[in-house]
Amino acid sequence: MSSRKPKAQSTVLSDNDDDIHCNASNEMKNNNNYKQEKTTNNNSSNNIVYTPKIKWLDLSAQIFIHTGCLYGLYLLLTEAKLLTGLWVFIMIQLSGFGITAGAHRLWSHRAYKAKWPLRLLLIFLFTIAGQRHVYAWALDHRVHHKYSETDADPHNAKRGFFFAHVGWLFITPHPDAVAKREAVDMSDLIADPIVMWQKKYYIPLFALLCIGLPVIVPWYFWNESLWTSFWVNFNFRFCVTLNIAFLVNSVAHMWGHRPYDKSISPAENNFVSVLALGEAAHNYHHVFPWDYKTSELGSYTFNLTTGFIDAFARLGWAYDCKYASQQMIRRRANRTGDGSHTDPNVWGYGDEDLTSDDLKDIDTMGYHSLSS
Ligand SMILES: [Zn+2]
Ligand SMILES: [Zn+2]
C-alpha cells in the first residue's frame, strides 16, 4: 500500500488576470501582435522580436495524420471487423495510461514513485501512444506548468485555441520557450535508465510498438486486412489519442469552473476528463500539480488513471503517492477560488470530510433538536 503522506511543496503559479481569447479573430490578432511587438512579459528575455514561422514538414505530418484519421474512421465503420474495433478501443485506453499515469503524473510531476516493473509497463504503453519519448514530453510539460500561459509556455493558450491545440507543434517556438526548455531541471529523468533507454531507441521502439504491434495483431489473429489495420490501428488510433491529449491543452485551458484559483485559465472540464482518463480537473491540477490524483475527489468515474495507480499501489509497485489534504484544498479554494467549490459528499456523521463548521453546528444542536 502507498504511504500516502502528502509532502509540503510549493506550486509555481502564474498570475494571469486577463480572460483568454479563443475566437479566430483574436487568434489572428494575437499572432499579429507576436509579429509586430516586442515581448513585455516578465518571463521574457529582454525585448525579443519573435516572428512565428510554419515548420512545413511538421505541418505536413499533421495534415497526413488528420486526413489519414478520417480515412481510418471510414474503414472502421465500413470495412473493419468487430474485433478490430474492440482492439482499437482497448489500445486507446491502455496506451492512454502510459500518458496519464506515466509521462504525466509519474515522470513530469513526480506525484508518486514507481518500481521498475511498473515503469517498464508504463514506458511500453506510452510508446504505443507514440507521443514522442518521455523525456521530450515531460520537458515540455514541466515548462508548461512552470511558465503557464506566458511566452515561455510551449502551448500558451493565450495565443488562441488552435495554437494551444495543435498549432504549437508546427509553428516555430517562442525564444522564451526555447530558453526555458534548456533551463528546466531534468536530472531525475536523466538518472532513470528506463527513460533514457526509451529516448535512445525511440525510433525503432516507435516503429515496433506504435505501428507494428497494433497493426499486426488484428492481421495475425483474426485475419484483418493489413491495409485496413494500418489506417485504423495506427493512423486513426494515433490521431484520436493525440487529439484527446490536445484537448487538455486547449479546451481545459478555456472552459469550465475555477474552484481553486480563479486567476488562472486552466479549468475543471468533466467532458475532457472522461476522454482523458481523469486529466482535465485542470484548475485543480495547476494548483496542486504534485497530487497523484490530479483532482480533488479522485472519483474513478472521471479519473480511471487514479484507479490504475491505486491498483498498482496495492501491489506495491506504486508508492509514496502524494495528495493534498482537504484542509489545504479548502483553504486554497476559499482564498483564491471562483466560489464554485463544494465540499465532497460525505457518508454521514463522523465522516472526516464533514467541515469543522458543520460539525460545530451539529454538536451545538445536539439532542435538543430531537427532543423538542
Ligand atoms: Zn495545463
Ligand atoms: Zn500536468
The Å distance, Cα 322 to ligand 2 centre, comes to 14
CA quadruple 116, 122, 124, 126: dihedral sign? negative
Take residue 362 and report the three cell numbers written for it: 451539529
The Å distance, Cα 289 to ligand 1 centre, comes to 10
User: Is the CB of residue 151 less than 8 Å from the CB of residue 172?
Assistant: no
Tens digit of pLDDT for each residue in 29-85? 444 444 434 344 444 455 678 899 999 999 999 999 999 999 999 999 999 999 999
Look up the pTM and report it. Answer: 0.80
The Å distance, Cα 350 to ligand 2 centre, comes to 34
The Å distance, Cα 275 to ligand 1 centre, comes to 16
pLDDT along the chain (372 residues), means of 10: 34 29 36 42 59 95 97 97 97 96 96 97 98 96 93 94 95 93 93 98 98 97 97 97 93 92 90 82 92 80 88 96 88 88 67 69 61 42
The Å distance, Cα 161 to ligand 1 centre, comes to 13
pLDDT at 19: 28
pLDDT at 205: 98
Tens digit of pLDDT for each residue in 292-310? 998 887 567 678 999 999 9
The Å distance, Cα 71 to ligand 1 centre, comes to 31
The Å distance, Cα 286 to ligand 1 centre, comes to 6
Cβ burial 41-63 (10 Å sphere, 16+ → b, else e): bebbbeeeebebeeeeeeeeebe
Q: Largest Cα–Cα distance of the chain, in whole Å?
A: 78
The Å distance, Cα 144 to ligand 2 centre, comes to 8
Q: At what angle do helices 134-146 and 116-129 cross, to 10 degrees?
A: 90
Q: State the ligand closest to the CA atom of 106.
A: 2
Q: What is the 3-state secondary structure (H, E, C) of the chain?
A: CCCCCCCCCCCCCCCCCCCCCCCHHHHHHHHHHHHHCECCCCCCCCCCECCCCECHHHHHHHHHHHHHHHHHHHHHHHCCCHHHHHHHHHHHHHHHHHHHHHHHHHHHCCCCEECHHHHHHHHHHHHHHCCCCHHHHHHHHHHHHHCCCCCCCCCCHHHCHHHHHCHHHCECCCHHHHHHHHHCCCHHHHCCHHHHHHHHCHHHHHHHHHHHHHHHHHHHHHCCCHHHHHHHHHHHHHHHHHHHHHHHHCHHHCCCECCCCCCCCCCECHHHHHHCCCCCEHHHHHHCCCCCCCCCCCCCCCCHHHHHHHHHHHHCCEECCCCCCHHHHHHHHHHHCCCCCCCCCCCCCCCCCCCHHHHHHHHHHCCHHHHC
pLDDT at 208: 98
How far apart are the C-alpha atoms of 164 and 279, rounded to whole Å?
16
